[in-house]
Amino acid sequence: MRVLGIETSCDETGIAVYDTERGLLAHQLYSQVKLHADYGGVVPELASRDHVRKTLPLIKRALAEAGLQAQDIDGVAYTAGPGLVGALMVGACIGRSLAYGWGVPALAVHHMEGHLLAPMLEVDQPAFPFVALLVSGGHTMLVRVDGIGQYQLLGESIDDAAGEAFDKTAKLMGLDYPGGPRLAKLAEQGQVNPEFVFPRPMTDRPGLDFSFSGLKTAAANAIKKSDGTEQSRADIALAFQQAVVDTLAIKCKRALQQSGLKRLVVAGGVSANLELRRQLADLTTQLGGEVFYPRAEFCTDNGAMIAFAGAQRLQAGQSEDLAVITRPRWPLQELPAVNAS
């Protein structure tokens, strides 16, 4: 089954074609970073308008890359949430309209399920069951995964997501948008400085929920008190990154131990952070387990993960009617299960 995937949940237009027998056939991505850079963050209306301009040309390019015509597509999958409602509407309307015109089924895909299943695009795939850490600009959550659609939420952020905290702290430091990756780059020049010691939020109590708002405030106070030199900024970036990574690692260890599972999947934009990968690799090795990631280009939003996730459900017979419904907020655990057969 050949599935066209469309991702337009925020500031990246992602298009891909996935074949359930041959794997990923094409992958096209356009980032709106330059468009939003002057504003220091994503402007929803501008994001929606740019998706309108870019989606159809990228679909044509993806089909050409795959060597396919419209009549070769067996289904269309599009992101229906969570995300920016205007941006979601663009991809959903285009995806549902193409499916109707081509006479094939369409499926609304949960954005976070796309991230969760992204490591399945790799040769070394995690087997079910596993614990998933979904960590991005909009979400931080731990999920027990027993199969596609078989999700148990173990813990989530009660305020800022980890990626959001990275971006906001980077902005406080005067770093350009997108701030998270730039802060991580600056941290490479940092040194451990006793003047900058940040808390590991909610690690001193039971449970698997996260909170990064207070950590962001602690970083803001440190920035104000620092001497403003480049080295101090780098030291603060290092201390902040280490606090986030330590917090995520502590909660992952707790989730693996409580669930009795050995496999950990990490996905979402922050999963590209090298220090997080290093620490989680050490952690899972100590526990006698394994950690799985998508390749770097599939950590951030992309069409490949949507095409793959959609293909699993379309192949199982799931599809949408003609009504186009987007869900800016959409609990992951509401998704129906897909039978392993």
Annotated binding residues for Fe cation, written as ranges, equal 111, 115, 301
Classify 109 as helix, strand or coil. Answer: strand
- d(CA 323, CA 96) in angstroms, rounded, equals 9
Contact 161, 137 (CB under 8 A): yes
How many residues in total does the chain contain? 341
Binding residues: 111, 115, 134-138, 167, 180, 273, 301
Strand partners, 290: 263
Alpha carbon separation from 49 to 11, 46, 86, 97 (Å, rounded)? 11, 5, 9, 18
Helices (H) and strands (E) in the chain, counts: 10, 10
Classify 150 as helix, strand or coil. Answer: strand
- d(CA 100, CA 19) in angstroms, rounded, equals 20
Contact 252, 173 (CB under 8 A): no
Strand order from edge to edge, sheet including 106-110? 23-31, 12-19, 2-7, 75-81, 106-110
Binding residues for substrate: 134-138, 167, 180, 273
